[in-house]
């Protein structure tokens, strides 16, 4: 009996080491099962490996990169791209700074809090020109204008997603008369009425709220852009050190990414379908909806699509100003200049 037990223990230990060995050797293959069709035998040129860390699960919010990857634009630029999905326990700034990823996608306000702490990170392109954040509520809650938020319960995901809401509340002098509540990943809280207004992105949660059975004329929406309290969201960033050491690679990455974005904007339905095939999230229709809404943020009406990724320093400054005002714990006032928001690489990539 004892021998059996010993055998069991030994086999456990052996299996553990074996499996650990297997898993580390087959590492990248399991991470991105879709990345198979690379390395054509005719092309023996070495591709540069580059890892992109997304802010959230992969879906049409990041369609530009997914299109560029699936259409081989990165490969055309000599890049072997690996795209890492985000998640609730993933912090892009940490992963880029730790070297798990080379380039990350995050919100500008979030990037600034890390920069203020001393993280040597720089933004290299601003993908979303407008804010996609909304406050949505049921018509029956009577929130027809921001002033009606007085005395209501408002949802936010927090962790840096609350500043625009605070700016809005301050604008209407409502800071002390509302209750802020954390939202989970669903839109159920506002649907069931446990909160009155919920944070929602134009390209995702708004539609999901409609999907819960509310028609457009049963829903009130407050748009942060219209209220003049918008802060910048999705941007690309990396460490200064990496950017300097990989100047050419970074330019090539931006060129391929922007090509992907341009193509996605030209046909958002196709981009949505591509994203759905890539990630399988929710439904094809939802990914197409998301693609169409994201397109409006990347290139708002009247925006020159040759300028995709342009860093508008005035908008960056406004983001910094709101951040200073509403994050009392900020380590230092954000620096807004070319050391933290560097357009050099983007200019080189686009010829602007």
Partner 1 sequence: MTAGKAGKVLWPLAVGVAFLAVWQLGGIHALLHFKPFQLPVPLTILETVIDNLPKMLSDTWITASGALTGMIIGSLLGFLVAVIATMFPKWGYPGLTLVSLFNAIPIVALSPIMNRWFDDGFGQKVGVVTVVCMATMAINSYRGLNDLRPFTLDLMDSYAAPGSAKFFKLRLPNSLPSIFTALKINIANGLIAAMISEYFASSTAGLGFSIKDNLRKAMMAKGWSCIVMAALVGMLLYSVLTLVERRAVKWHASQNK
Partner 2 sequence: MRLKSKKAERAVVWAVWIVAIIALWELGAYTLDAVLHDPMAPAKLPYFHSVVLGLVSYAGQLFSAMLVTYSRALIGFLIGTAVGFFLAILMSLSKTMEDIAFPYLIASQMIPVLGLAPIIFTLVRDMDTSRIVIAAYITFFPVAVNTLSGLKAVDPLKKDLMYSYAAGTPTIYQKLNLPFAAPYLFAGLKIAAPLSVTASILVDMLGSSSGIGVQLMYSLYGGLKDLFWAAVVMCAFMGLISYYIVVALERIFVPWARRKEA
Size of the site for partner 1 (CB under 8 A): 30
- What's the token pair of residue 90? 């993933």
Answer for which of 114, 203, 276, 341 binds partner 1 (CB under 8 A) is 114
Which of positions 155-214 make contact with partner 2 (CB under 8 A)?
184-188, 191-192, 204, 208, 211-212
Answer for which of 35, 47, 100, 180 binds partner 1 (CB under 8 A) is 180
Residue 225 interacts with partner 2 (CB under 8 A): yes or no: no
Contacted entry of partner 2, partner 1, none for residue 176, CB cut-off 5 to 8 Å set by kind: none
Contacted entry of partner 1, partner 2, none for residue 221, CB cut-off 5 to 8 Å set by kind: none
Answer for which of 53, 60, 61, 113 binds partner 1 (CB under 8 A) is 113
Nearer to partner 2, 107 or 114 (CB): 114
Residue 247 beta carbon to partner 2: minimum distance, rounded to whole angstroms? 23
CA angle 258, 259, 265 (to 5 degrees): 85
Contacted entry of partner 1, partner 2, none for residue 225, CB cut-off 5 to 8 Å set by kind: none
Residues in the chain: 352
The rounded distance, in Å, linking the Cα atoms of 178 and 156 is 12
Contacted entry of partner 2, partner 1, none for residue 327, CB cut-off 5 to 8 Å set by kind: partner 1
Contacted entry of partner 2, partner 1, none for residue 180, CB cut-off 5 to 8 Å set by kind: partner 1
Which of positions 93-152 make contact with partner 2 (CB under 8 A)?
94-95, 98-100
User: Strands 48-53, 79-84: parallel, antiparallel or unpaired by DSSP?
Assistant: parallel
Contacted entry of partner 1, partner 2, none for residue 182, CB cut-off 5 to 8 Å set by kind: partner 1
List all residues 6 or more positions away from 36 whose beta carbon is below 8 Å from its beta carbon.
Answer: none
Which of positions 330-349 make contact with partner 1 (CB under 8 A)?
331
Residue carrying structure tokens 């086999």: 11
String of DSSP letters for 70-129 = HTTHHHHTTEEEEEE---TT--HHHHHHHTS-SEEEEEHHHHHHHHHHT--EEEEEE--S
CA atoms within 13 A on the CB side of 133: 27
Of 299, 222, 224, 223, give the one whose Cα is nearest residue 258.
Answer: 299
Nearer to partner 1, 156 or 350 (CB): 156
Residue carrying structure tokens 């196709």: 270
Residue 215 interacts with partner 2 (CB under 8 A): yes or no: no
Helix (H) or strand (E) holding 31: helix 27-31
Nearer to partner 2, 4 or 328 (CB): 4
Residue 176 interacts with partner 1 (CB under 8 A): yes or no: no
Q: For 154-168, b where at least 16 C-beta lie within 10 A, e where not — what string?
A: bbbeeebbbbbbbbb
Of 282, 131, 276, give the one whose Cα is nearest residue 201.
Answer: 131
Judge contact between 155 and 137, C-beta under 8 A: no
Give the per-residue contact string, 129-158, with partner 1 (x = CB under 8 A; - = no). Answer: -----------------------------x
String of DSSP letters for 41-62 = TT--SPPEEEEEE-SSSSSGGG
Nearer to partner 2, 289 or 345 (CB): 289
Residue 85 interacts with partner 1 (CB under 8 A): yes or no: no
Residue 195 interacts with partner 1 (CB under 8 A): yes or no: yes
Q: Which residues bind partner 1 (CB under 8 A)?
A: 88, 91, 93-94, 97, 110, 113-114, 116-119, 158-160, 180-186, 188-189, 192, 194-195, 327, 329, 331
């Amino acid at each position: 009996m004892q021998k059996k037990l010993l055998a069991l223990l030994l086999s456990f230990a052996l299996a553990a080491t074996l499996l650990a060995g297997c898993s580390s050797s087959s590492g990248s293959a399991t991470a991105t099962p879709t990345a198979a069709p690379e390395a054509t035998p005719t092309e023996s040129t070495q591709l540069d490996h580059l890892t992109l860390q997304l802010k959230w699960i992969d879906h049409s919010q990041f369609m530009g990169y997914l299109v560029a990857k699936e259409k081989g634009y990165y490969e055309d630029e000599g890049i072997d791209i690996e795209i890492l999905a985000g998640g609730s326990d993933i912090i892009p700034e940490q992963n880029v700074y730790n070297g798990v990823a080379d380039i990350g996608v995050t919100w500008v306000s979030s990037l600034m809090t890390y920069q203020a702490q001393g993280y040597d990170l720089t933004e290299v392109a601003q993908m979303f020109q407008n804010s996609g954040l909304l406050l949505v509520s049921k018509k029956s809650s009577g929130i027809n204008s921001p002033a009606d938020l007085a005395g209501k319960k408002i949802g936010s995901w927090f962790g840096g997603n609350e500043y625009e809401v605070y700016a809005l509340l301050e604008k209407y002098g409502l800071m002390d008369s509302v209750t802020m509540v954390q939202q989970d990943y669903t839109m159920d809280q506002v649907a069931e009425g446990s909160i009155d207004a919920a944070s929602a992105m134009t390209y995702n949660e708004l539609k999901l709220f409609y999907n819960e059975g509310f028609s457009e004329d049963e829903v009130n929406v407050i748009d942060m852009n219209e209220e003049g309290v918008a802060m910048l969201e999705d941007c690309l960033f990396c460490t200064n050190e990496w950017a300097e050491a990989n100047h050419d690679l970074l330019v090539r990455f931006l060129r391929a990414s922007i090509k992907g974005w341009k193509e996605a904007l030209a046909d958002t339905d196709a981009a949505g379908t591509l994203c759905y095939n890539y990630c399988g999230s929710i439904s094809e229709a939802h990914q197409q909806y998301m693609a169409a809404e994201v397109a409006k943020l990347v290139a708002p009406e009247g925006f020159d699509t040759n300028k995709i990724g342009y860093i508008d320093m005035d908008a960056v400054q406004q983001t910094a100003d709101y951040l200073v005002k509403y994050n009392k714990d900020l380590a230092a006032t954000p620096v807004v200049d070319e050391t933290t928001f560097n357009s050099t690489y983007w200019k080189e990539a686009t010829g602007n």
